[in-house]
Structure 1
Amino acid sequence: MICMKKILITGANGQLGSEISFLSKEYDHQFHFTDYEELDITNCEEIEIFVEKHNIDFIVNCAAYTAVDRAESDYITSDNVNFLAVKNLLSTSSKYKLPLIHISTDYVFDGKGYKPYATDDSRNPINVYGLTKKKGEDLILKSDLDNLMLIRTSWVYSDIGNNFVKTMLRLGAEKESIKVIEDQVGTPTYARDLAKFILDSIPKINWNGVKIFHFTNEGVCSWFDFAKAIMEIKGYNCKVLPISTEDYPTPAKRPNYSVLDKRETRSFYEKEIPYWRDSLEKCLKLL
């Protein structure tokens, strides 16, 4: 029998937090969904007051500053959310002996590799977003607390919020053709699949220190392939044209290759991780 837990979810209005909320009715836990309006996680005292008031015994941190290009000119906000908030949540976890799941990103890697990144591969972010997420990771990895879980993911999308899929749908409906980068390779992640992995993992967390897992959907593609699949599945006539990263300069550099190795995740999860295109089809039905 699984003991019911009182779980704090931060970043509840984001893609992942919203999907956890959607799936939460299937799980016998008491969830407390918060975003910055309800709980300022850059304020440690606020977190402690909330934890005590609601008798929280588990934390899932879905909050993140994910505006990759904007982060280049807004380091302070990115650092506050991706680093300082993690520091505060860890402090609270330590004080009240609470397990903590923290979500990170493929952008902690520089993209110069040629095979899927293992959980213990060297990290070398090439933009501010990746740097601040790495700083948050460092706090987790250097902590002496038990029952910590660090999950790296990539290219997250869902039927809510701002994401690549919704942008492509808008452009596909408006334009006869669009240009999409073909030399950045990774794996899309349907936020609902990641949310299920997180919720299924909660009762299994009982270990010393921290464990790192990579979770994305299965398979590999470029942004061009991803866009092409979106148009095909939706039946749009918009033509997708391939371009190189050099042809589409952005304030923040992106890794050219950020596929994540999921061997540990497959062994731990013991459930089939859906193929990226299959999950894309499920999401697009909702749109």
Structure 2
Amino acid sequence: MANATASILLLGATGQVGHALRRTLAPLGAVHAPGRAAVDLTDLKSLREAVRELGPDLVVNAAAYTDVDGAEEEPGRAARINAEAPRVLAEAAQEARAWLVHYSTDYVFGGGKRAPYTEADAPNPTSVYGRTKRDGEAAIQAVGGRHVILRTSWVYSRRRSNFVRTMLRLAAENDRLTVVDDQIGVPTWAGWCAEATASICERLLAEDDAALSGLYHLTGTGQTSWYGLARAVFAQFGRTGVAAQPVSSGEYETAAPRPAYTVLDSSRVRAAFGVPTTTWAEQLSRFRRHVASLKD
């Protein structure tokens, strides 16, 4: 068990992964989770001051500009939150001798590969969102210090806007849906991601081994399309009366291009931190049980 007196600064605690992190990080120490009114990632000066004032042992940045299409219209804001803020956090964490854990995305890849991406593959994003997240990774790596960057993908939860919630809402309103079938990735339940992150953080706080610093992929195993995920969601949640029809990406016009293939190979994080192997389908089943338990 990590030092229960550890001080943890959690940013983005109202988001999908951040909300779950409030619970999973609690056994590791005192979690400080300031809201946007207290710490705004677009205000880099206040961001730096927040780290200096707390002097944490661990900074977990679960905040980001995640609107993929919106980033095309607001590239400056996306860059400030996704690239400049992580640089400031890395500098402030290094000054405080704290660990920085930061989330990135599968969208740093362009999708041209047809085998799972590893951490050794060079990023080649095709959207503003992907480029700003790649730049955030590079900024943290340039600063150095104790840091762990976790790339994850296709995150869903009971909170905020996400694909699984959208499918369940549409299934309640329609008996026929069309879903894109030529984009392939790994769906990730935010609750599982937060649990895995907590186990990683426990190791960082307990050992303080700088050799653990680096970039890791954090998803389950297996892969599917958005169409495949939709069908799995309908099956898990008893929406078997909904007929889903696969369509190509070309039938949906979006402001930002989506990569066709962004499956991440997470074997490195499992080897380094002992993160349990779980399939994306197992995570979805756990999510369904989690939702059911909250209704009881």
Q: Which TM-score applies when normalising by structure 2?
A: 0.92
Q: Structure 2 unaligned runs (5+)? A: none
Q: Structure 1 residue 55: deviation in Å?
A: 3.3
For 1:254, the equivalent position in structure 2 comes to 258
1:10 and 2:11 correspond: yes
1:221 and 2:224 correspond: yes
Q: Structure 1 residue 172: deviation in Å?
A: 0.4
1:93 and 2:116 correspond: no
For 2:25, the equivalent position in structure 1 comes to 24
What secondary structure sits across from 2:73 in the alignment?
A: coil
Q: 1:194-242 CA deviation, whole Å, 9 max, x = no partner?
A: 1111111113232248311101122110000000111111121111100
What secondary structure sits across from 1:178 in the alignment?
A: strand
**Does the CA contact (< 8 Å) of 1:185 and 1:221 recur in 2?**
yes
Counterpart-to-counterpart distance in 1, 2:226 and 2:212: 36
Counterpart-to-counterpart distance in 1, 2:261 and 2:141: 24
For 2:236, the equivalent position in structure 1 comes to 233
Q: Structure 1 unaligned runs (5+)? A: none
Q: Structure 1 residue 280: deviation in Å?
A: 1.1
Counterpart-to-counterpart distance in 1, 2:35 and 2:242: 37
Deviant stretches of 4+, over 4 Å: none
CA-based RMSD of the aligned residues comes to 1.6
1:56 and 2:56 correspond: yes
Q: Structure 1 residue 144: deviation in Å?
A: 3.1
Counterpart-to-counterpart distance in 2, 1:184 and 1:169: 20
- The code of the aligned residue for 1:210 comes to S
Aligned residues: 285
1:162 and 2:161 correspond: yes
Counterpart-to-counterpart distance in 1, 2:9 and 2:25: 12
What secondary structure sits across from 1:72 in the alignment?
A: helix
Q: 1:93-138 CA deviation, whole Å, 9 max, x = no partner?
A: 1222211011000000000001000101011000010010011011
1:116 and 2:126 correspond: no
Counterpart-to-counterpart distance in 1, 2:224 and 2:164: 14
1:280 and 2:287 correspond: no
1:243 and 2:242 correspond: no
For 1:69, the equivalent position in structure 2 comes to 69
Name whichever of 260-269 and 184-193 sits farther off: 260-269
Counterpart-to-counterpart distance in 2, 1:55 and 1:148: 16
- The code of the aligned residue for 1:257 comes to Y
Identity of aligned residues (%): 33
What secondary structure sits across from 2:69 in the alignment?
A: helix
- Kindly report which structure 2 residues correspond to 1:177-196, keeping only aligned pairs within 5 A, or say none: 177-196=176-195
1:47 and 2:47 correspond: yes
